[in-house]
Amino acid sequence: MKLVKLIANLGYGSRKDVAQLFRAGRITDLQGEVLYADDVVPHAHIRVDDEPLDPPPGLVLMMHKPLGVTCSRKDPGRVVYDLLPPRYGVRTPALSSVGRLDRDTTGLLLFTDDGALLHRIIAPKAQVTKVYEATLAQDLRGDEAALFGSGTLLLESEKEPLAPAQLEVLGPRQARLSVTEGRYHQVRRMFAATGNHVEALRRIAVGALTLGDLPPGAWRALEADEVALIFRAAE
């Protein structure tokens, strides 16, 4: 792909804008030599205003989603894309969140511009485990683990029962729940089905990938070995 198109696709501006960056000598190699639109240069060697060029397509990010931001492109309030650099919102192919977390759910949220990878993560067949920690309004009854694990729990207004999910009790009102599906408000509705209410919900892992020490609101690009963790069993 021509450098102009590659750089424009990464959100640096229209092709015309990027042609202007070349003319102004703002696109250089590692040694500071000015590059021209027809040059063939490894991605990692390209600098714009002395800064490394944004990562090429195939980008995977993880974010520690904070409270109160929505997983949508447009919303009257703050959206998760507002937490990323503005260029990331106008890349081609587009960067999308991998599934969604509710506005009031915090924790591990993935983004990618790789449609096939996104599908591999969210397809129910893929059986990627999502692990949540829930704080509940009332004490657990004691039968939740058996019910959630049964594969027979039918959520209100659904026709298919939920696949078995694993519940670990962490305290009277605290539980860790591992699910392989991603139905609408799934975790909140599962506890609602037991007469309880989720007061706080945090996703702590997707497969064996965890947030580590990423603070709320922060994000970072994932390395290939970290992407592979998504498809491993949660620890």
From the list 185, 200, 214, 231, which residue makes contact with ligand URA (rule: CB under 6 A)?
Answer: 185
Note whether 186 binds ligand URA by CB under 6 A. Answer: yes
Note whether 64 binds ligand URA by CB under 6 A. Answer: no
For ligand URA, what does the binding mask look like between residues 5 and 44, x meaning CB under 6 A?
A: ----------------------------------------
122 contacts: CB under 8 Å, gap ≥ 6: 98, 99, 128, 182
Phi/psi of residue 24, nearest 5 degrees = -80, 0
Told to judge if 102 belongs to the known catalytic residues of this protein, a careful annotator would answer yes
From the list 187, 209, 222, 229, which residue makes contact with ligand URA (rule: CB under 6 A)?
Answer: 187
Alpha-carbon 86 to chain mean position: 17
The interface region with ligand URA, picked from 35-43, 181-189, 210-218, 225-233 by CB under 6 A, is 181-189
Selecting among 29, 39, 75, 102, the annotated active-site residue is 102
How would you class 40 by CB atoms within 10 Å of its CB: exposed for 0-12, middle for 13-18, buried for 19 or more? exposed
Note whether 178 binds ligand URA by CB under 6 A. Answer: no
C-alpha distance across the termini of the chain, in Å: 41
How would you class 116 by CB atoms within 10 Å of its CB: exposed for 0-12, middle for 13-18, buried for 19 or more? exposed
Q: Which is nearer to ligand URA, 27 or 69 (CB)?
A: 69
Contact 106, 64 (CB under 8 A): yes
**Interface with ligand URA: number of residues (CB under 6 A):** 8
Q: Least Å distance between CB 82 and ligand URA? A: 18
Note whether 134 binds ligand URA by CB under 6 A. Answer: no
181 contacts: CB under 8 Å, gap ≥ 6: 124, 162, 163
Q: What is the DSSP letter of 9?
A: I
From the list 9, 97, 105, 178, which residue makes contact with ligand URA (rule: CB under 6 A)?
Answer: 105
Q: Which is nearer to ligand URA, 59 or 190 (CB)?
A: 190
Q: How far apart are CA 23 and CA 31, in angstroms?
A: 18
Question: Which residues sit at the interface with ligand URA, rule CB under 6 A?
Answer: 101-102, 105, 185-188, 201
